[in-house]
Amino acid sequence: MLNQDLLQRRQQSVSRGVGTAMGIFVDRAKNAEVWDVEGRRFIDFASGIAVLNVGHCHPRVVAAAEQQMRRCTHSAFQVAGYEAYIALTERLNRLAPIDGQAKTILFSTGAEAVENAVKIARAATRRHAVIAFSGGFHGRSFMAMSLTGKTAPYKRGFGPLPGGVYHIPFPAEHKGVSVADSLEAIEGIFKADVAAEDVAAIIVEPVQGEGGFLPAPVELLQALRRLADDHGIVLIADEVQTGFARTGRLFGIEHTEVKPDLITVAKSLGGGFPLSGVVGRADLMDAVDPGGLGGTYAGSPVACAAALAVLDVIEEEGLCERANTLGSLVKARLLDMAGRQDLRPIAHVRGPGSMIAFDLVTQRHEGRPDPVAAREVLLSAHAAGLILLGCGSLGESVRLLYPLTIAEDVLAEGLNLLEGALRLPRH
């Protein structure tokens, strides 16, 4: 079977509303390597958009899922429960940086977790408004889309969106936005748009994902915690992409001393199986009456079993430490590339642990963002056998999301392919 044959079938049968970065179709995968239906090998620096921190088909995860599948694949937790759901929530409650007793509810997708975190915050506070950040990404469902701070392609053509959402600029030094600017914008919203006592929640990514892998400054998160405490607002940390060792800590916000009230989790929690959740202060989590939260597939027993294995792998294989070790190697290599005259100009190498990105710019040192060059680099990488994704408000950034279990020789091979993709074209 050929990729082109499947591409033609896709065009006839699949909605054009779902985009695909590469024109290949996967046949099999193992750890950080993927083979398409034509037998071509690729090195995976995308991890299914940060889903595979423990790699493709980790034996522990596969074994746990297989064992659960032989016992029970589905019952719907709100019809009849199962131990895997309880065991996973108990473990997340112990691990999450929540002040006091924590409780958890499970869902299927990151957007679903975000939607329900907002529902919980509104039920607990009896308020309606939510403050989010420009450049943030929280999902494609309607409330999550409203929270997302990027119009194209996520919001265009879908309005009107749910109201009560107010965006403020996200601080980034190289973009000329300071923490003071962000905090001043919040005070401006309180004065001009919605009273603080009507705000249910502030939602923030510890590291912005689609916005460009921009780490939230510690001062910002500390200030948000104070604001939330002063005004009775629920602080939500969206850890859908940052969670489960990606940043060098189990949760990205653990790089600070800030403890959020609610945490949304998904992606790498399930190790490739659809699973998400909200972890939070017990008093908030219990604010919703029975039946107000849930979902037919929410907290699938197979996904829960896989997630328990994922947490075992992260702990036993030391993946938080490994994220930092690999990240240091990668950032050193990228900084070396940034000084090379034979490569395209890149700048702003950034990110904690192994949540790393850099920008393509028009010229070295003081160049403007260059999304066209970024797109060309991605296409060149794909053609060379490297699965790579972009991000950033303009599409100027390249993000690296290799599995944390990647072998170092495979990582080095992938970085060599990236260097080749960055090589200046000969005229």
Domain holding 413: CATH number? 3.90.1150.10
pLDDT at 158: 83
Residues 295 and 343 in one domain: no
Q: Is residue 151 over pLDDT 90?
A: no
Residues 366 and 257 in one domain: no
pLDDT at 427: 63
Residues 311 and 322 in one domain: no
- Please, are residues 279 and 120 in contact by the beta-carbon 8 Å criterion? no
Q: Extract the tokens encoding 107.
A: 């869902």
Count CB-CB contacts under 10 A for residue 153.
Answer: 10
CA distances in angstroms from 35 to 27, 40, 54, 174, 388, listed in the order given:
6, 5, 18, 38, 15
11 assigned to some structural domain: yes
Which residues sit opposite 280 in a β-bridge?
A: 103, 262
Q: Extract the tokens encoding 54.
A: 């423990």
Residues 100 and 47 in one domain: no
Residues 46 and 69 in one domain: no
Residues 140 and 156 in one domain: yes
Q: Where are the alpha helices (DSSP H) in 176-217?
A: 179-192
Residues 308 and 325 in one domain: no
217 assigned to some structural domain: yes
Q: Would you say the pTM of this structure is higher than 0.75? A: yes
- Please, are residues 303 and 270 in contact by the beta-carbon 8 Å criterion? yes
Question: Rounded mean pLDDT of 203-220?
Answer: 96
Read off the CATH number of the domain in which 110 is found: 3.40.640.10
311 assigned to some structural domain: yes
Considering its fold, how many domains does the chain have in total?
A: 2
Read off the amino acid at residue 205. Answer: E
Residues 350 and 246 in one domain: no
Question: Which of 283, 316, 349 is the endpoint of a domain?
Answer: 316
- Please, are residues 34 and 26 in contact by the beta-carbon 8 Å criterion? yes
Phi/psi region, residue 161 (left: phi>0; alpha: psi -120 to 50; beta: rest), is beta
392 assigned to some structural domain: yes
105 assigned to some structural domain: yes
Read off the amino acid at residue 427. Answer: H
pLDDT tens string 218-252: 999 999 999 999 999 999 999 999 999 999 999 99
The DSSP-derived string for 125-147 is HT--EEEEETT----SSHHHHHH
pLDDT at 259: 98
Which structural domain, as residue segments, surrounds residue 165?
60-316
Residues 190 and 142 in one domain: yes
154: pLDDT confidence band, cut at 50, 70 and 90? confident
pLDDT at 218: 97
Question: Rounded mean pLDDT of 331-340?
Answer: 97
229, containing H or E segment: helix 218-231
3-state secondary structure of 98: coil
At residue 359's C-alpha, the angle toward residues 407 and 157, to 5°, is 105
Question: Which of 316, 344, 360 is the endpoint of a domain?
Answer: 316
The dihedral built from the CA positions of residue 371, 377, 381 and 382, taken in this order, carries a sign that is: positive
pLDDT tens string 165-191: 999 999 999 899 999 999 999 999 999
Greatest Cα pair distance, the chain, in angstroms, is: 66
Residues 336 and 275 in one domain: no
124 assigned to some structural domain: yes
Residues 282 and 378 in one domain: no
177 assigned to some structural domain: yes
397: pLDDT confidence band, cut at 50, 70 and 90? very high
Question: Which of 282, 316, 350 is the endpoint of a domain?
Answer: 316
Residues 253 and 175 in one domain: yes
Q: Is residue 308 over pLDDT 70?
A: yes
- Please, are residues 293 and 116 in contact by the beta-carbon 8 Å criterion? yes
427 assigned to some structural domain: no
Q: Is residue 366 over pLDDT 80?
A: no
Q: Is the peptide bond before 160 cis (omega within 30 degrees of 0)?
A: yes
